[in-house]
A = this chain, B = another copy of it.
């Protein structure tokens, strides 16, 4: 059982937006055992859309198409579906009602004729009601291949996928189980890891695939397998990856599964009923942003201070100015003082503090661009490290953020 995803929209091909829809759809299909064979992004162009449909039909049992369903002139997906399926557009009363309801619910002006254009749908399509927008989803079949058309607005697409598409896919197709498990490692390059596990890797059976996913000081090792017996599949992968984790115990920090490092931090702090605050200087909100997008953050995360200017470290956080003068603002000593005072200010068990030079200019410090000091205050005292993260601003912020989470996870995992 293979699927293909086609995203339609010139804005993707000129790089004006990043296509996040396909990653979401791939992930959700994967969970229910549907393998995605290819993702294709194409223009709002009739000939090109038809060509992509024909190509997809050759490989896939299920083709999910997003985009091009708006009420304006540049949206041509629906008409092109009619051409492909040799069908015609007819008015659907349920969609007419839905449009009226939506305008009423959101207290908008009276719908325009263009809004009711959304109710013109291919006559043989099964309509998937969109409760969050005027463009309906559509489910069509041709020679045993299912085509699904969804709006490109991520919020609407996600609801339709979850509530209308996935349940129908589960009913319509028999699928194998697909199982992945990913080991997170820090601090060693992929070739070094490959060298260490060469015998283990060569002994993997045909149906199990290992992938190396390197990024900014981390390598994720993903084992994948598919088959009919879910339990057997899981046991096999679980036992193999446990062996791998043992072999790499000095660099392995845990399994990724569905949970991000922030998710694991949230889980542990909630479980232990402990709290966290932040004093972010050079990371400038990158840490807090990742924490607060985690649902349930408010149960363990009390607050954050971002003293971007040096004098605020003294004024608000109470870091002695003598300390800054003696050791420089980017120093282990200042980071530690920030972390400890942050715990006091917010009355938390743990605090992360960062101070450094993200670049491109050197700012208040005397240190090189890329120098970052990170401290973690804990109920047992404070730990800290000084790093050099290179001279690319984004990379410095991202690396420092990752490293801070890694240090915090280590501390909160201790008994």
Residues of A whose CB lies within 8 Å of any CB of B are 10-20, 22-30, 35-44, 48, 52, 55, 70-74, 108-109, 111-112, 114-115, 134, 153, 155, 180, 182, 189-192, 194-195, 201, 209-216, 222, 224, 278, 284-289, 291-293, 295-298, 301-309, 312, 316, 345-346, 360-361, 363, 392-395, 397
Contacts and interface: CB of A to CB of B under 8 A. Distances in A.
15 contacts: A10-B209, A11-B213, A11-B222, A14-B180, A15-B22, A15-B30, A38-B40, A39-B40, A72-B212, A153-B214, A285-B287, A288-B306, A293-B393, A293-B397, A304-B308
Nearest to A29: B15
A11 B314 CA distance: 45
B189 A108 contact: yes
Report the copy number of this chain in the oligomer.
Answer: 2
Contacts of A397: 292-293
A159 to B, nearest CB: 9
Given A153-B214, A289-B284, A293-B394, A40 B37 contact: no
B30 A213 contact: no
A28 B11 contact: no
A19 B72 CA distance: 28
A292 B298 contact: no
Looking at chain A's contact residues, is the secondary structure mostly helix, strand, loop, or mixed? mixed
Contacts of A346: 312
B14 A19 contact: no
Contact of A36 (B13, B309, B395): B13
A212 B151 CA distance: 14
A384 to B, nearest CB: 21
Query: Shortest 3 CB-CB distances between A and B: which pairs?
Result: A284-B292, A15-B27, A285-B288
A305 B304 contact: yes
A100 B41 CA distance: 39
B304 A285 contact: yes
A177 B293 CA distance: 41
B12 A72 contact: no
